[in-house]
Structure 1
Amino acid sequence: MDLAATHQAMQFDGVPFFGRLALRLASQLRCGTVHVRLPDHRMVTLRGQLPGPSATIELNNYRFARSLVIGGDIGMAEAYIRGDWTTPDLAQLLYVLCLNEDLVDNAFAGNMLVRLCRRAVHLLRRNTRQGSRHNIHRHYDLGNEFFAAWLDSSMTYSSALFPAETADLPAAQEHKYEQLAQAIELQPGQSVLEIGCGWGGFAEFAAKTYGASVLALTISKEQHDFARRRIHEAGLAEKVEIRLQDYRDQDGRFDRIASIEMIEAVGEQFWPAYFNQLNQRLKPGGLAGIQAITVSDELFGSYRQRVDFIQRYIFPGGMLPSTNILRALGERFEMPVIRERLFGQDYARTLSLWRDNFSQAWTDLTALGFDEPFRRLWEYYLCYCEAGFRAGKIDVGQLVFARRG
């Protein structure tokens, strides 16, 4: 008698079809342990072939299992947003799943028709000029009050770079700006084009600290209005212009270009246009500093063939490049990479701090009209990204491209 099989059958007794199927698939863990609390409060422990971290998932009903089997990783996220399951530590659970990416990508790939439909929708969200405005509006124009409630005082929505373990988030964000400015060898009086300026943090820093003359672009009206007011209040209106404009419509030549976590929203189809614009806007010998979130070179091939949770719900039309692709695009457009620095674990820490801030600010956010499914959506987003950086599946770095000539 196969005692293990008999024990498993007893564990799954009374579990509906999709629940049994999901548990059997999940039992293929490569490493780590997942403790599953069933809706009837029984516990099932799934152990990987190799040791690793452990996490717990608590099922409130079996709709979760159907969503997971049919919808894959996105179905799992949707079930969390609906409240079909919960966990004492969402970031830890997603981290364990990241370490078992083969299981997630293969056993829980989801129904083929569902995947094809998602892919078709994603392709329709291309970042043309009109598409970019629509896609950006869906995310950034949630309102300045929303982001101000949980970002640090600099309103910086990109990875910090921590100079020391004891550094707080505002200090780490300023350190990130300083490192980028040094990397592009910024000098007083130089002209800087910033592509994707957010709420104006780097533009203010470059003008105030380095005496640079900055033209900063955004296509978010909420960000544009906030950044203009910020620059005026800082007394830097003669040094900084905030312009509501697509980067493809900019002309002129600049000594330096800065672009912080904007290329992720460009879309693969438009990466050549983005790099061509960098080339055309830089003076000969000029430097462009790009801070970019990247997917590992090994995973890029499979990543680009599917639509993930971020593309579906957070950044429609977006796509992460790999560092090799960025280097190749630089060479193609006569701008080789001359230096780079990767700091993915700093992003994991940044996201953890954002998540804490978001949780603490939730009472204030409900007053702005945000509901419980929205809270779970954003909690999942922040934890999903944190887990990816912790597991090394994605990274972030500052790359400096030098225009030949």
Structure 2
Amino acid sequence: MSTPTESALELPRPLPAGAALLMGRLRRLARGELRGRLPGGQPYRIRAAGAGPAGVLDVHAPWRLLGRCALHGAVGFAEAYIAGDWDSPDPAALLEVMAVNEPAFSAREPRLLTALQRAGHLGWRRNTRRGSRRNIAAHYDLGNDFYRLWLDETMTYSAAVFERPEQPLAEAQRAKYDALLDALDARPGERVLEIGCGWGGFALRAAGRGLHVTGITLSGEQLAWARQAAARAGLGERVDLRLQDYRDVTGTFDHVVSIEMLEAVGEAYWERYFDTLAARVRPGGGIALHGITIDADSFEHYRREPDFIQRYIFPGGMLPTRDHLLALATERGLGVSGDERLGRHYAETLARWSARFNAAEGAMAAQGFDERFRRMWRYYLAYCEAGFRSGRIDLQRLVLRRPPA
């Protein structure tokens, strides 16, 4: 691993013990640049030998930051931000630096401790039917008023696909829905099942194009919003929205769509999820799937140790690799007619969400969401954006076909 030379270090002298220890850890930087200020306002700068992104890390409490990282690794770094031990004017840029330098910064937890953490985490958050309802409620039932503060007018909580840099977010979301329907060659009068319908953005777009949509969710808040939106749009006769688990749907449909639902399924249920996709589409029908994937080189470490999102944001969630998706599809006889990576679009979507989120913090406080909660969500959005920008995670769009009878 490359390490910075002395000429690449700009550190104040003398350094208090905690700051000195922290700078020693940060000197592991292999790619890019870190700069910022230490307690008392002293500036520092660390420039690695390898090219990479640049970020700003302003440290307020070095001993607490070090302690959290020693105990919990990357999750501890997140917890330190939530607690106010450090700040950054651009958390996404800083976390991109951390993502590309993960091998250099990874904490070495004892294997037994790691195994116990993982077992305890997944044992509580297992995605049985009851567990799935609990896990979904933990995230989506924060209230529609919370999400409408920073999502666009379509209330879409998945990546937009931008046709031009300056395209408004809502327009890019509708363009994504149209692209999915076009890829399926979905025609008026056909029946579509949407697994994980959210607040109804896709269902309303598809119904507006003359399709009949059955959408399922496990969030009562989402269901109430989506039904009201369908009624306001005069599309109630074409939209059937249900509070239902994907494992309990019966019948077949001309097409099945699932947009960023797979991430919440859990590894133990990936096969059941793909069984459902294959069983619910008629012979000759199509399946459109958007799923977030993790880089294959990172998967085993990620699988062993719950990350920040699994612990704080999406309990029970698990990202597959692209190869997992392709294998799960082909094992069920589904042909792949479309395969596209859209991670750069997700990074832009997250940047837009972060800007809207930050602008709405006063309104969130008025709704009763405290500073700790808001810092957790700021970190979550930045963490995801950094993951897509660094390439550690990606967004896969797959279009699958069930062979004709």
Shorter-chain TM-score above 0.5: yes
Question: Do structure 1's residue 356 and structure 2's residue 355 form an aligned pair?
Answer: yes
Partner SS, residue 159 of structure 1:
coil
Question: Do structure 1's residue 88 and structure 2's residue 74 form an aligned pair?
Answer: no
Partner SS, residue 32 of structure 2:
strand
Question: How far is the alpha carbon of 1:34 from its aligned partner?
Answer: 0.9
Q: Greater shift after overlay, 183-192 or 45-54?
A: 45-54
Matches within 5 A, 1:30-45: 30-45=30-45
Partner SS, residue 176 of structure 1:
helix
Question: How far is the alpha carbon of 1:298 from its aligned partner?
Answer: 2.8
In 2, Cα distance between the equivalents of 1:382 and 1:346? 14
Counterpart residue number, 1:312? 311
The amino acid of 2:120's aligned partner reads V
In 1, Cα distance between the equivalents of 2:299 and 2:291? 15
Q: Is the 8 A contact 1:293 1:396 kept in 2?
A: yes
TM-score using structure 2 length: 0.94
Counterpart residue number, 1:379? 378
Q: Greater shift after overlay, 23-32 or 188-197?
A: 23-32
> Residues 9, 256 of structure 1: CA spacing in aligned structure 2 closer, same or farther, 3 A cutoff?
closer
Q: Is the 8 A contact 2:115 2:304 kept in 1?
A: no
In 2, Cα distance between the equivalents of 1:281 and 1:372? 44
TM-score using structure 1 length: 0.94
In 2, Cα distance between the equivalents of 1:397 and 1:235? 33
In 2, Cα distance between the equivalents of 1:377 and 1:57? 17
In 2, Cα distance between the equivalents of 1:12 and 1:126? 50
Counterpart residue number, 1:143? 143
Counterpart residue number, 1:396? 395
Question: How far is the alpha carbon of 1:60 from its aligned partner?
Answer: 1.1
Question: How far is the alpha carbon of 1:236 from its aligned partner?
Answer: 1.0
Question: How far is the alpha carbon of 1:351 from its aligned partner?
Answer: 0.3
> Residues 10, 372 of structure 1: CA spacing in aligned structure 2 closer, same or farther, 3 A cutoff?
closer
What CA RMSD, in Å, does the superposition of the two structures yield over aligned residues?
1.9
Counterpart residue number, 2:212? 213
Per-residue Cα deviation, 1:94-129 (whole angstroms, up to 9, x for no partner): 011111121233xx3446565334312321211110
The amino acid of 1:41's aligned partner reads G
- Report the count of equivalent residues: 397
Partner SS, residue 167 of structure 1:
coil
Partner SS, residue 57 of structure 2:
strand
Q: Is the 8 A contact 1:94 1:387 kept in 2?
A: yes
Q: Is the 8 A contact 1:327 1:336 kept in 2?
A: no
Matches within 5 A, 1:5-404: 11=13, 13-16=15-18, 19-62=19-62, 63-105=64-106, 108-110=107-109, 112=111, 115-124=114-123, 125-209=125-209, 211-404=210-403
Q: Is the 8 A contact 1:32 1:96 kept in 2?
A: yes
In 2, Cα distance between the equivalents of 1:119 and 1:12? 41
Per-residue Cα deviation, 1:354-375 (whole angstroms, up to 9, x for no partner): 0000111111111110000011
Partner SS, residue 166 of structure 1:
coil
Partner SS, residue 215 of structure 1:
strand
Question: How far is the alpha carbon of 1:275 from its aligned partner?
Answer: 0.5
> Residues 384, 12 of structure 1: CA spacing in aligned structure 2 closer, same or farther, 3 A cutoff?
farther
| Long gaps (5+) in structure 2 | none
In 1, Cα distance between the equivalents of 2:380 and 2:238? 36
